[in-house]
Structure formats: structure tokens, C-alpha cells
Structure 1
Amino acid sequence: MLIINVRPWGGNAVDIEVRDGRIAALHPAGTAAVNAGTAGGAVDGRHRIAIPAFTDVHVHLDSTRIGLPFREHTGGPGVWNMMCNDRENWRDTPIPYPEVVAGTLERMIARGTTRVRSYAQVDVDCRLERFEAVLAAKERFARAATVEIMAFPQAGLLLEDGTVPLLEDALRAGATTIGGIDPCQLDRDPVRHLDIVFGLAERYGVDVDIHLHEPGHLGVFSAELIFERTRALGMQGRVSLSHAYDLANVHPDVSARLLEQMAELDIAWATVAPASGGTQFDLARMTDAGIRVGLGEDGQRDYWSPYGNCDMLDRAWQLAFTHRLRKDRLIEHCAAIATVGGASIMDRAVRRLTSPDDRPGLAVGDEADIVLVDGETVTSTVMDRGADRTVIHDGRVVADGLSVLPDPAA
């Protein structure tokens, strides 16, 4: 396949030659004629910007109301109250729940997200029902996106008997990451909580992701326990912290020490770009330190929050806005985090960003996961978030004009 007349990261126009799902060559625009050996034909880029396809590294596909009628938000404050609100309502949908989950993934792909790490809640209420819905959506759109599933104990590990065996069932059924959540605040036994999470990770050979909403020095305490286990088990590069925003609001020396340990242990950070009245992590500083940073939409129009619309370009704008960024290079850096940054968390073979000015993902040899977007520059694309998009996954066009294309083999 040839992708004709596109501007990688807003640079000079080129023709991109794709073979076997990877970028095979970059030619000056207009010089790579379509030939019989290019089985996929040509895609007219129309001088649009080419960036790597988006990676949503923190999404709850199992907690969504995308495609359903809007409803009043009824959740109470705190993780437990929000979880209970979700638990009371998630089955109440006018179309089958698995269709809601699949429809959300389809909408994400249509807008340019082809790499997804999704949580799937596992507890004594839903058992594996939500996990199985995410797994079915993954299989349905396997041609158009790479999806990893995390077995996630949203209700904690210790508060309800029977949770841990269900998590093991999910890991045996194909989950590739085990989650944990607020070891001190929710389960109130951080040592046992983390021993279970890391024990399952070691037993099943999977990655770890810890939701950390805990404030101040309580969050610091949990983070340092996570660092200890990462080091002891040799799990460098296989652990992520999600949220963990308040680690930036402690004494600067403490925050700096935490970032140093994250860099040393290759512990990634996944953010959903929330509004914050406090100090935000410095994205450029984290990237310079070698910390993998990824972006996600979290829940989308769900029982936790009415925000989220399946568009990672919107979320890249939100990342820049909530971090109060104005310079073009730093806004482009947010787009890099939303694409290659998250990809390097899902797949350690993907090179991490090396600086706020690094724009990888579109060189010869890279996977042909690309989204073509309209805009004068990458920054203008982030600001305007237009609808003229063509999505390429594994060297095939899978979506165009905000619609997923039918599988020709189906």
C-alpha cells in the first residue's frame, strides 16, 4: 500500500510505502508510483498530517454509556460510592450490554485509536461478565485494533470474599495485566493487597497496574511499597501507576525522589488528564527522565462521570489544557504521549519518547499504525480536532470519515 502526499508530524510531504504491516520506505511526495507489487493500492493523503495512531492506555470499556441515552449523574463522592453507583446501574441498558461495550470500542477506532489497554471489572457482583464483554469486543475488532485486557478489582481485593479466585479465572482466560487499587484507603491493608497483586503477576507472567487515588504521604507510602516489590521481583518495565496525581503535591524533594525511582525501575505513568487545583507532574521533565507516560480516557460517559467521547485527540487537547501548556512543542509533546507514549507502555519493544521534542513512530521499520488528520500543524490539529480522519492499522485502512470500514473478509 502507498499513502500518498502526507506530512509526518506536520513536516515535509512524503509518500509512505507500507509492506507486511510496517513502513517500508518514505519517498518525496509524488515520486512513489503505484505498482503491481503494492497489493493494497493507494490512499490519498490529500496533504493531511500523519501521526502514529492513538493509544488509549487507560480506558474502562466495561464502564461506558456511549451510544445510550444521556442520564443524570448520580454517583456519590469517593471510590467506593462511585463503584456502588456503577454496580447498581450498569446492567440497566436498553440494548444488550456487550453491544454497548463493542460500540464504544468501534467509536474509538473510528476516531483513530488502534491500541487499547482496557480495564475489566472483576468482582463478586459481575464475576466475569464484564471481562467477557470486553474480550468479545476485542475479538470482534481484532482486525482493526490491538486490545489488551486488565483484570481489575474495582471493589478492592479484601473487602468481599471470592474476588481473588475470580481474578485468577480472568488471568487464565486471557487478561494480560493484573490491577490493584488504593491499597491503603480501600482495602486498608497495603501489604496484603500488594502481595496478592504482585503474587498473581509473578504466577501468571503478567504486568501490574495500580490505580492510586490516595492523597499526599499516604500515596507516597503505597508508591514506595510498589517500588519495593518491583525491585524485589525484577519486574522493571512491567509496572504502571495510574492517576497517582497527588504524588506531585508533596514536598518537591519527595516528589523528585519518587520520579527518580520510577525512572530507575522503568515504572510507567498513565494519566487521564484530569482537572487539578494542585501541582501537576511536569510532562517534559518525566520524559527527559526516561519515564514512559501514556494517556487514556478512563470511563466514558459512564456511572462515574459524564465526560469522555472516545476521541483521544480531544484527550490530547485536555492534557495540554490541564497542564497549562502554550508552546507548540509542548502541545505536540502531548500528541506524542497520546500516540507513541502509550504504545511504549503496552509494548516495550516500542521505543519510549526520549525528549519533549521527540516525534517517533513514522520511520522505516515502524508499525503501520497511522492516523491521517486535517490541520496546518500538529498543534492546530490538537486545537481544532477535525473529523477528516483516515485510520490505518497493521498496514490496512480500517476507518475513514469517523466510521469503521467493514471487514472485506467477513
Structure 2
Amino acid sequence: MLISNARPWAGSPSDILIEMGKIASITAHDPQRILQAADVDGRGRILIPSFSDVHVHLDSTRIGLPFREHTGRPGVWGMMSNDRENWRDAEINLPERVAGTLERMIARGTTRVRSFAQVDVDTKLEKYEAVVAAKEKFSNEAEVQIMVFPQAGILREPGTENYLEDALRAGADAMGGIDPCALDRDPVRHLDVVFGLAEKYQVDIDVHLHEPGALAVFSAELIAERTRALGMEGKVNISHAYELGGVSPATSRRLIETFAELDISLTSVAPSTSNHLPLVDLVDAGVRFGLGEDGQRDYWSPYGDCDLLERTWQLAFVNGYRQDELIGHALAVATMGGASIMDRSVSRLASVADRPGLAVGDRADLVLVDGETITSTVMDRGIDRTVIHGGTVVAESLKVLSVEQSF
């Protein structure tokens, strides 16, 4: 397949040849070339790697359903309880909601997804199985990894650990954890379970860390100690970590150096907080960093629209980015930054100027999107998109080609 007249990372008009699912060559655009039936007319659009949503909760989605009054209560337990009280009563069943949400994400250019699936004594494996079904339905259009997630904690309700292990035994890709101190109030036992199950089933770890200030630093240091002691470098991610940059500059530097040394990655949903670790400092140190949408218009929040380009704008906005290079870096985080977390053989971003994913030999997971420059693409978030996964066009003009659009 030839992609004709596209501009890789908003560069010069080029013709990109795809063979065996990978980029085989990139040459200057030849306007005299006659396109074949399987070729794609780039029409001068910008070519970027496809998006990588590495922190999303497909299992709690209400995308495509009517807006409802927000009834969540403060705190993780209050919000979780609100979800528990309502998720079974939605207008359509959970498997349809999950599949429809994943479909929308693919249509907008996300072909790499890391989704949590809540497992506890209430949901048992019901939410996990709904995410598995969506993953299988769109196996030709996206790569989906599933993280088994103890949203209600591990120790508060007897039996939770058994259900978590059931999901890992069934094939989950990663083991989740959450607020070892604040929620379960026993970080040693919590992390014993998280790291123990991850070791047993040889999967990655992803820990939600909402804890404040010094408490968050304490939990992060415990996670780092376990990672080092168990030789799990390159297998651990910390999500959110809103407060790790709010203690002191010296503490921030120490954490960043530790994360880089142990290849502990971070994922963000671009929150409106100023206490996170500085993104530029993280990339300069070599820490992998990815972006996600978190909940998708669910029982936790009315936000989320399945468009990671929209969330890229938010990442740039909350970091106060105005320079073109930094806005381009936000887009690199949303694409290859997350890809390097899902697959640690993918190189981490080397600097804020690094624009990977479009070189000869790279896998052809791509998006054509309208825009004059990278900055204008992030600002305008146009809808003229062509989505390519593994060298095959899977979506056009916000519609997945293999199925009739669900919502």
C-alpha cells in the first residue's frame, strides 16, 4: 500500500510505501504517480503515529448514552461506591457499551489501548469479561492490553484477591494496584499481593496513585524498592501521581532519577494540578511517559469523548505549553510515549524534540489528520482522519470500516 502526498510529522510532502505491515520506504511525493486501488491519497494531510491510550477505564463507560446527573461522592471510595450502585442499570448492557467505546476510540485514531477492568467482590469477572469481548471484536483494528484492577482496594473486602487471580489466570496482561496507604491502609500487604501476583503470572504492574504529598512519595518509594528487589525493572507503571512534584525540588529529582534507573514509567490523564512531576524533566531523564483519557463519561465523571487528540490538547494546556516544540512533544507522548510503555522494546522518547514512529522499519500504525502544522492539528483537532493499523486502513472519517457504527 502506498500513502501518497502525506507529511510525516508535518514535514515535506512524501510518499510512504507500506509492506508487510511496516514502513518500507519514504520518498519525496511524486505527483505523477498513479494510485492503485489499495493506495491512500494523503491529500497533503499530516501523518503521525496512531494514538496510544494507556490509561482508560473501558469497563465503566457511558459513551453513547444520555447524560445523567452526576451523583458521585467525594473520595475514591465514595466515587467507587456510586459506580457500584449504578453501573448495572444503564440503558444498554455493559458489553455493548465497552465495544461501542472502543470502536469510537479506534475511529478517532487510537489503535493502542491499555484498559483497566475492575475486579472485586461486586463485579467479580463481569467487567473484565466485557473488556475481553471488546478486545476480541476489534482484534484486527487495535492492540488492547487489559489490566486487572482492584478499584475497591484489595484488603477491604475478603475474596477480592481470589477474583484478581482468576482474571490473571484467564489471561489479563497486567496487575493493578491502588493507593496502598490511603485506601487499603496497609501498604506492605497491598504491595505483597500486587507484586506477588505479578511475579506469579509474569505480568506488568500498574498502580493508581491518588495519594497526597508526602504520603504519595512514601508509596512511590515503596513501589521502587519492590521493583529493585524483585528485578522487575521495565515492568512497573505508576498512574496519576498528581502530587509527586509537590513536596520539594530535591525529592522530585530523587524520584525522577529512581524512575529512570528502574524504568518505572508514568501515565497521566492531564489533570488540572500543578504538583505533578515536570514533564520536560521526566523526558530529559529518560522516564517513559504516556497519556490516557481515564473514565469515559461514566459514573465518576462527565468528561471523556474517546478522542486522544482532544486529551493531547489538554496535556499541552495544563502544562502551559505554547512553544511549537513542546506542543509537538505532547503529541509525541500521546502516540509513541504510550507505545513505549505497552511495549518496552519501543524506545522511550529521547527528548522534547524527538518525533519517532515514522521511520523505515517502524510498524505502520498511523493516522492521517488535517492541519497546517502539528500545533494547528492539536489546536483544531480536525475530523478528516484516516486510521491505519498494521498496514491496513481500519477507519475513515470517524467510522470504523469493519463494522456498522454502534453509537
Which one of 174, 179, 197 corresponds to residue 176 of structure 2?
Answer: 179
Deviation by residue 1:143-170 (Cα, 9 ceiling, x = unmatched)? 1000000000000000001111111110
Which one of 204, 208, 224 corresponds to residue 205 of structure 2?
Answer: 208
Match of 1:247, SS state, is coil
Gaps of 5+ in 1: none
Q: How does 1:254-265 map to 2 (within 5 A)?
A: 254-265=251-262
In 2, the alpha carbon distance for the partners of 1:57 and 1:34 equals 39
Match of 1:300, SS state, is coil
Match of 1:241, SS state, is strand
Contact 2:241–2:276 (Cα < 8 Å) also in 1: no
Code of the residue aligned with 1:370 in structure 2: it is: L
In 1, the alpha carbon distance for the partners of 2:40 and 2:326 equals 30
Match of 1:337 in 2: 333
Contact 2:244–2:275 (Cα < 8 Å) also in 1: no
Aligned-pair distance for 1:34? 5.9
Match of 1:238 in 2: 235
Which one of 303, 314, 328 corresponds to residue 318 of structure 1?
Answer: 314
Match of 2:21 in 1: 21
TM-score (norm 1): 0.97
> How many residue pairs get matched?
404
Q: How does 1:9-408 map to 2 (within 5 A)?
A: 9-30=9-30, 33=33, 41-276=38-273, 278-406=274-402
Code of the residue aligned with 2:81 in structure 1: it is: C
Code of the residue aligned with 1:343 in structure 2: it is: A
Aligned-pair distance for 1:31? 6.8
Contact 1:280–1:323 (Cα < 8 Å) also in 2: no
Deviation by residue 1:374-394 (Cα, 9 ceiling, x = unmatched)? 000011000000100000001
Contact 1:34–1:42 (Cα < 8 Å) also in 2: no
Code of the residue aligned with 1:8 in structure 2: it is: P
Contact 1:61–1:134 (Cα < 8 Å) also in 2: yes
Match of 2:331, SS state, is helix
Aligned-pair distance for 1:352? 1.1
Code of the residue aligned with 1:50 in structure 2: it is: L
In 2, the alpha carbon distance for the partners of 1:251 and 1:353 equals 26
Contact 2:153–2:184 (Cα < 8 Å) also in 1: yes
Q: Which moved more, 1:92-101 or 1:379-388?
A: 92-101
Deviation by residue 1:22-50 (Cα, 9 ceiling, x = unmatched)? 10111111179468xx8x72100000000
Deviation by residue 1:250-279 (Cα, 9 ceiling, x = unmatched)? 111011111110011000000000111x33
Deviation by residue 1:100-152 (Cα, 9 ceiling, x = unmatched)? 01000000000000000000000000100000000000000001000000000
Aligned-pair distance for 1:280? 3.6
In 1, the alpha carbon distance for the partners of 2:132 and 2:246 equals 37
In 2, the alpha carbon distance for the partners of 1:23 and 1:32 equals 21
Code of the residue aligned with 2:330 in structure 1: it is: C
Contact 1:227–1:265 (Cα < 8 Å) also in 2: yes
Match of 2:189, SS state, is helix
Contact 2:10–2:374 (Cα < 8 Å) also in 1: yes
Code of the residue aligned with 1:238 in structure 2: it is: K
Give the aligned CA root-mean-square deviation in angstroms. 1.3
Q: What is the identity percentage for the equivalent residue pairs of Structure 1 and Structure 2?
A: 67
The runs of 4+ residues in structure 1 deviating greater than 6 Å are: none
Match of 2:244, SS state, is helix
In 2, the alpha carbon distance for the partners of 1:138 and 1:82 equals 26
TM-score (norm 2): 0.97
